[in-house]
Amino acid sequence: MEELNSLMTGFGHVLSFQNIGLMFIGILLGIVVGVLPGLGGPNGVAILLPLTFSMHPTSAIILLSCIYWGALFGGAITSVLFNIPGEAWSVATTFDGYPLAQQGKAGQALTSAFTGSCIGALFGVVIITFLAPLVAKFALRFGPPEFFAVYFLTFCSFIGMGKEPKAKIIISMCVGFLLAAVGMDTVSGQLRMTYDFPELLRGFDFLVAVIGLFGISEILLTMEEGLAFKGKKAKIDLKVVLKTWAMLPRYWMTLLRSSVIGCWLGITPGGATAASFMGYGMAKRFSRDPDSFGKGNMEGVLAPETAAHAAGTSALLPMLALGIPGSATAAVLLGGLMIWGLQPGPMLFVEQKEFVWGLIASMYLGNIAGLLVVLSTVPLFAAILRIPFSIIAPSIMVVCAIGAYTVHNAQFDIWLMVVFGVIGYIFKKLNYPLAPLVLALVLGDRAEDAFRQTMVGSKGALGIFWSNGLVGTIMTLGMIALLWPLISGLSNILRQRFLNKSHANA
């Protein structure tokens, strides 16, 4: 009941003409970001973050989060009409979305994708509404050992449960730790790895790094591929929408299953991409007609879109409650909160209650508004893809440069952005994940501070990390997450041997 009262208060703060206007602006910008393959959710939020520095934090986070919702919606447009995923999480949508468009059912496919996305997002917001305050209250018991244990669990989860090769995840994360260490040591006050460059005294700003790693690198890759847009036309009217909505109740189990999968992978470091593929795979496994998948099955559109949106939304839960981002976009928003003078974590629910519940209330309104906007503007945004990419790419790069310069009003940051863009390009060409690098860059110094404070308090005794049930449990979970591939592989071997032995005895 307390959560519902706080939520109603949040709606009272959000329902102003300015915030509603920013909500629609953010959604429209986000759809553009999602439609253009050279951008994507994290990139759009990172590029436009400097523009919010003079805004009230509540208005700023509403704008940026709505950009993210819009990007999630927009990725489905290119997947269905052009067979080009606007983002990695939209890849699974192409499997059945584009065949449906080829059959003349683009309107139904898009309506299903947008509606499933909205349902998944609302499911994630409900989870945040009721779980985030409980997690935050629990986290108030945390001291330096517990906070380091949570960081440790986060890093280990990325390594142990990530889909990419473990060595590449570790290398990417180590690069992030190395970049986070540049600048002034917050404990001793000494300079580290500045090499007589005064500009490096403040370290590498995460925002400049993110703009380069995501925005510039994607543009370079897209330009290299010589992307050309040729797609199907789509017309969505009220008749198509109502007809499609009348069909959706028969897929209620798919929607529920995909929402749960998405929320789980959003709260853990799985992410929207893993959620979309898992949602698609589970829908195919439990379908009465699995052979139709890949040929134009409506479940093949509903499942990945629902799971991706649920994951993208629920990833904000650990960011708000613990100060630990569950996705690359959440990491960017985490940095934004810190720039605005807010400290994400359990105290945020105590010291900035108005802000937190205003953000949660905006999630409900933003996703519903996003559904209405995207259903009515599909032809308009699909037409954007007919603009030559040779015009779009330079425009995006100029916006990136402006965003990087705005952070500190320093030309040096533009050069850093270019360097990070080249690094991101190399990482993507070699299939190295960028999310662990961004995570380590954002949380690396905070994890180091928590570890060193713990070591000072315990006089160097590592046993403090198992000194009580709370910190010991978190550290043990971190070790299990880190070693999970070995544990899983060993269990599979033992199971196979047991089955072989049973067959032999039979």
Instruction: Reduce the DSSP state of residue 192 to 3 states and report it.
Output: strand
**CA 29/CA 68 separation, integer angstroms:** 9
Instruction: Reduce the DSSP state of residue 183 to 3 states and report it.
Output: strand
Q: Which residues contact 444 (CB under 8 A, 6 or more apart)?
A: 176, 177, 179, 180, 181
**CA 89/CA 372 separation, integer angstroms:** 22
Q: Is 49 within 8 Å of 207 (Cβ atoms)?
A: yes
End-to-end alpha carbon distance in the chain: 58
Distances in Å between the alpha carbon of 222 and those of 219, 312, 325, 394, 474?
A: 5, 24, 28, 12, 41
Instruction: Reduce the DSSP state of residue 191 to 3 states and report it.
Output: strand
Helix axes 57-82, 106-139, angle to 10 degrees: 150
**CA 304/CA 283 separation, integer angstroms:** 9
Q: What is the pLDDT of residue 333?
A: 75
What is the per-residue burial (b if ≥16 Cβ within 10 Å, else e) of 386-411?
Answer: eeebeebbeebbebbbebbbbbeebe
pLDDT in tens, 320-370: 777 776 666 777 777 777 777 777 777 777 777 777 788 888 888 888 888
Per the rule left: phi > 0, alpha: psi between -120 and 50, beta: everything else, 171 is alpha
Pairing of strands 191-192, 183-184: antiparallel
Structure tokens at 387: 């603009």
Q: What is the pLDDT of residue 231?
A: 46
10 burial type by CB count under 10 A (0-12 exposed, 13-18 middle, 19+ buried): buried
The DSSP bridge partners found for residue 192 are 183
Q: Is 76 within 8 Å of 236 (Cβ atoms)?
A: no
**CA 313/CA 128 separation, integer angstroms:** 9
Q: Which residues contact 42 (CB under 8 A, 6 or more apart)?
A: 210, 214, 327, 328, 329, 331, 332
Nearest to 159 by CA among 499, 487, 482, 492: 482
Distances in Å between the alpha carbon of 324 and those of 82, 293, 332, 366, 463?
A: 36, 37, 11, 23, 24
Distances in Å between the alpha carbon of 355 and those of 137, 167, 395?
A: 17, 39, 34
Q: Please identify every stretch of the chain with a pLDDT value under 70, giving residue numbers as ranges.
A: 1-3, 36-43, 82-89, 91, 136, 138-140, 161-163, 206-207, 214-215, 225-238, 268-271, 273-274, 325-328, 378-389, 392, 403, 406-407, 503-506
Q: What is the pLDDT of residue 271?
A: 63
Q: What is the pLDDT of residue 402?
A: 74
**CA 339/CA 207 separation, integer angstroms:** 10
Q: What is the pLDDT of residue 506?
A: 60
DSSP state, 141? T
**CA 271/CA 276 separation, integer angstroms:** 9
3-state helix, strand, coil in the chain (%, to 5): 80, 0, 20
Nearest to 247 by CA among 119, 108, 390: 108
**CA 318/CA 398 separation, integer angstroms:** 33
Q: Considering the entire predicted model, what is its pTM?
A: 0.66
Q: What is the pLDDT of residue 462?
A: 83
